[in-house]
Structures are given as structure tokens and as C-alpha cells.
Chains A and B, each alone.
Chain A
């Protein structure tokens, strides 16, 4: 059983990597991720640049390096030259009563505040683990726009996974190869799982890639993968049905249309609908996935909360699968 699931999956992946259209579908989330980086700077790219004197206080330099771009100069003179050169570069220099911030004067206030805060945190020996939450609260780490775009992209990936499935099913349909598979020891379940695994695999790999490209390294990637996996089920089910019911590529790609509206609606609902009214989106697995991912991306969630969200997604997707499973199995005969 496992062996056959594996070989069916492997075949699909191999064929998908060979076709321009499917390769394009695999690459597009990565391109969009790079695009997001252009639109809004990375979460770890604090856009605060600090200049220190080399070897003067290596421990301090290392500490700052976790939160800002740190550049080291040979002496105080060079630090001053460097600051005169560019706008938003700040120097942190040793003075008579501890360290002081050297600025040119036209830097944004928040940047100066940030540097000052960092310095205070260092001097009061706040550890990275303690400090992190405060730094994030400071509002500089995960820009809300970026978080939202990445979250949307993660949902789009599940949709693409569904589309990929529908195209792979369409291939079997056009070539009439299901009949050939059906006269081997392969069970329908193994066939469906093998095909589905392709979508799951692509969804996971693309999601992780997007998370890494956009700089959300420090979130709990395992949690994100769990959410993606659970919500991908619905795209896969729709993808299967769409593939079975279509006769050409354009029709198969139409599964996207089916998923797009509830997905866009759920995102808009979460982002723009106030408090109590959100209850109107509770039916949508995309709503819960978006909400869960939002929590994960802002590193503000707990495992029990996440398990609850994933549980809700699984119940809804499981229900949809139960409703449509017979049609899928019948379609494979």
C-alpha cells in the first residue's frame, strides 16, 4: 500500500516537473514571495543601521546584531564620517556616563528611539529570550502588511495544490490510464492518497519556501505546516472532482474559481469585519486557516489555541470530503 502510494506520488511529481505549465505553478508562489519582500521590508530587516567601534565592546556588537544591521569601524573618527555619509545610520559610542547615540539629526524619531531602546535593553542585561516580545511589540519586526500578504500567499498555495491535483487527474482521465491502474493490486484508496500526497507535498514545500523567503524564520514552522496541511484537504477534494469532471486544461484549472471566492471572502472577513460579526465566517475553513496563520506569523499563539483551529478546519474539511468522497470514487471507475 505505502509502496504504491509512493510510486504514484513520485510519478506525478516527475511529470509535473517536466511540464512548463506545472513548473510555472510551482514557481509562482516563490516569485510572489520575492515580490512581497520588495513591497515591504523583511521582518528581521529592521531598517535600523548602527555603526560601532570595532573591538571596543564585542559583546554589545553581537547583542545589537540580533536586532539591527551592525557595521564596525576602526575608530570613533571613522564612525563619525560614516554617519555623515548616509541618512539613517546611527552611531553608538562610549561616552563619560555610558554609551550615547550619535545621530545626524534628520533620522526618523522612531529609528533613534529604537537604537536608544536597544542600548537600554543591553545595559540592563535583558536576555534575547526576554527581550524579544518587547521588541516585537515595539512594532518594528513584523509589518502588518507583510504578514497579511504572506498569509494570503499561503492560502493561495493550497489553491494551487488543488489545481495541480485536478491537472494530474485530468491526465489520467484523458489517457484513460485509471482502468490500467485498476487491474493492478492498487486500491482506490492508495491511488487517491498517492495523488493527494502530491498536492500536500507541493503545498508544504512551497509554504516553507515562502516563509523562509519572506524572512519569517523565527515563527513555528511546524505549526504553519499543520494549518496548511489541514486546509489543503478541501482544495484537494475540489481538485479531484474538477479533474474528473473536466475534459480540458482550462476546465480543470477552473477549480481555482470555485475556491477563490470563499477564500477571498474569508480573508476580507477576518481583516475588515468587526468583532462579533466574524461569526458569519466560522463556516469557512479558509477563515480559520487565515486566523491560525495570522496567529503563527505574529508569534502570538499557543498550542492549545492552534489545535482548536486546526481541529475546526479538519472537521469542516472532513465533512466536505465525506460528502464528496463517493463521487470521487465513482468517478475513478
Chain B
């Protein structure tokens, strides 16, 4: 569904790259998660893939279309949910969706049904200018489904939502995917990524550090993490070390030799911890 080769993008064309040498493929029916801290280049990548940003360097095909000479027809198959909650503030929720639906050439879904699906039932006739940020974000998410896309781009669909609603959004994505929809998902929520994604790509400072399935990553890193509790200057400290990375092994050695160990055991790593291990960066 998506093929990206040697993708570079510099906003100011000044040699500073927001994404550099990005390569990946997303198969049909797959949920691919793009994980990284903010400013990593996730939205930039999605922007290029959806034709919103001009392709500067690299080869990109989406749903069989070469992004270099994009065809407007492509967008009948594509759904895009934005990071910014970009709806018409002067229109009601329902009007927003109805207007948007008319811009497509394919059969579209009932606005009211979608509004209900994202938990905004009863709010359909309220102007979105009066919505909270989270409500607008859900509406943008709902809007991205209106043309029954087979290729679905979701930029931070759960960011800023409370956990119950985030879980509901997650279930919707899962359901659509079961019907064969391919999903390109950008997030820094590791739990969502862990549960949803067939494969994840870790991106930091514009570069992909690793691509694999969450399951493989856990097999690879998970069982080789050691959590140590020890005392330092009279207070209790807790640290987590990999047993494969030399740097971690050295540090662990030092603690065992020099500090008083309280507890020590191996554990299954979360995706977040794996991310930190692999990239050396926190996911914020």
C-alpha cells in the first residue's frame, strides 16, 4: 500500500532535514505505527505521503499512485486525520461532515452515524467553535472515515483524549482494519501502538532507527532487561538495564560492585522502555 524509498525533506531547503533517508513499506491490511517524540518528523512524513507537502527527494507510492504526479482521484480512497483539529468553527459538527462528504466522488457515510461513533451524539448541531480541543479532535477523526477509505492516515488520533475515549478510538481503528483497511498511524502513545500495530517504526530526529513488530521487539529486548533497586546516598534508586548493550552492562556491573542491591530481577519490557533503550531518547 505504501512504499517509501530514500525520503528527505527540508522545510527551508537549507540542508537541515526534518526527515532524512527514510525507507519503509506498509503492506495491504497492515497497521503500521510511526513512533517518536515530538519534532521527530512523523507529521512531516505523513504530510508528504498525503501530498500536502511537496515531495523533494525520494520515491513514494501510496495506494498505487506515485506521489510525484498525484491524481486527485487518489483521495477517494484515502482518509486523513490531522494532528491539528482543523474543522470549520463556524459550522456545526454535522455541517462539517456533510460539507466534507460532498467533496468526494464515492459513496460516503452518514455524518450522524460517525458523530455517534466517536461519542459526540447530541452535539451534532452545536458549532464546533464551542467544542473542546478533544471533541474537535474526535470530529476530525470521524471526518477521516467519511469516504470509507482503504488507506487511512492517522496523525496522533488519541493525543489529548482521556483514556476511555482513547480506548474507544483504538477499537474503531481495530474494527476498520479487520475490514481490510490499511492504517498508517503516528503516535507517541506506546500502549496504543503496542496493542494496535502489526509493525512499528521508531523515528528520532528525522531518521528511522528500527522497524519491527512489537512482539519481536519484546522477544529481542524484553527478556534481557534487568531492573535493579539499590541505595545511593541513603535513598532508594531504581534503574533498568539491558544485558545486551555494552554501555548498560558496564553500568550494571558498576552498581553491583559499588552499591548495596535491594532487589534485582529480569522483566518484560514495555514498548516505551524498548524505545528508550534503542534510541536513547524519551518519548515525549
Binding site for B on A (CB under 8 A): 3-4, 7, 11, 15, 18-19, 171, 174-177, 179-187, 333
Contacts and interface: CB of A to CB of B under 8 A. Distances in A.
Given A174-B89, A186-B103, 8 more contacts: A7-B102, A15-B90, A177-B86, A179-B84, A180-B140, A184-B100, A185-B103, A187-B72
Contacts of A183: 50-52, 75, 78, 80
A131 B82 CA distance: 69
Contacts of B175: none
Contacts of A180: 80, 82, 86-87, 100, 140, 143
A18 B54 CA distance: 36
Query: How large, as a class, is the contact surface on chain B?
Result: 20 to 34
B87 A177 contact: yes
Contacts of A185: 72-73, 75-76, 103-105
A30 B76 CA distance: 43
5 contacts: A4-B102, A15-B90, A174-B89, A176-B86, A187-B72
B51 A175 contact: no
A82 to B, nearest CB: 58
Interface string B204-216: 0000000000000
B88 interface: yes
Interface of B: 50-52, 54, 72-73, 75-76, 78, 80, 82, 84, 86-91, 99-100, 102-105, 140, 143, 147
Q: Dominant SS at the B interface? A: loop
Contacts of A18: 90
Contacts of B91: 11, 15
A180 B84 CA distance: 10
Nearest to A171: B90
A293 B50 CA distance: 48
B87 A4 contact: no
A309 B105 CA distance: 41
Nearest to B89: A175
B53 to A, nearest CB: 8
A187 B82 CA distance: 19
Contacts of B143: 180
Nearest to B106: A185
B154 to A, nearest CB: 12
B255 to A, nearest CB: 50
Nearest to A4: B103
Contacts of B54: 333
Contacts of B105: 185
Contacts of A182: 51-52
Give the interface centre of A175, A181, A182, A183 by most chain B CB atoms within 10 Å: A183
A243 to B, nearest CB: 15
Nearest to A186: B103
Nearest to A187: B72
B99 A11 contact: yes
Given A182-B52, A183-B80, A19 B90 contact: yes
B52 A333 contact: yes
B152 to A, nearest CB: 11
Contact of A184 (B84, B87, B104): B104
Contacts of B76: 185
Contact of B86 (A4, A7, A179): A179
B126 to A, nearest CB: 14
A185 B75 CA distance: 5
A180 to B, nearest CB: 5
A18 B91 CA distance: 10
A232 to B, nearest CB: 24
B89 A179 contact: no
Contacts of A186: 72, 103
Give the interface centre of B76, B99, B102, B103 by most chain A CB atoms within 10 Å: B103
A266 B260 CA distance: 90
Given A3-B102, A175-B89, A177-B88, A184 B75 contact: yes
A187 B91 CA distance: 22
B72 A171 contact: no
A143 B89 CA distance: 48
Which 6 A-B pairs rank lowest in CB-CB distance, beginning with the nearest?
A: A176-B86, A184-B103, A183-B80, A185-B72, A7-B102, A185-B75
Give the interface centre of A3, A11, A18, A184 by most chain B CB atoms within 10 Å: A184
Nearest to B86: A176
A4 B88 CA distance: 17
A181 B103 contact: yes
A187 B84 CA distance: 22
B88 A175 contact: yes
Contacts of A176: 82, 84, 86
B146 to A, nearest CB: 10
A177 B54 CA distance: 18
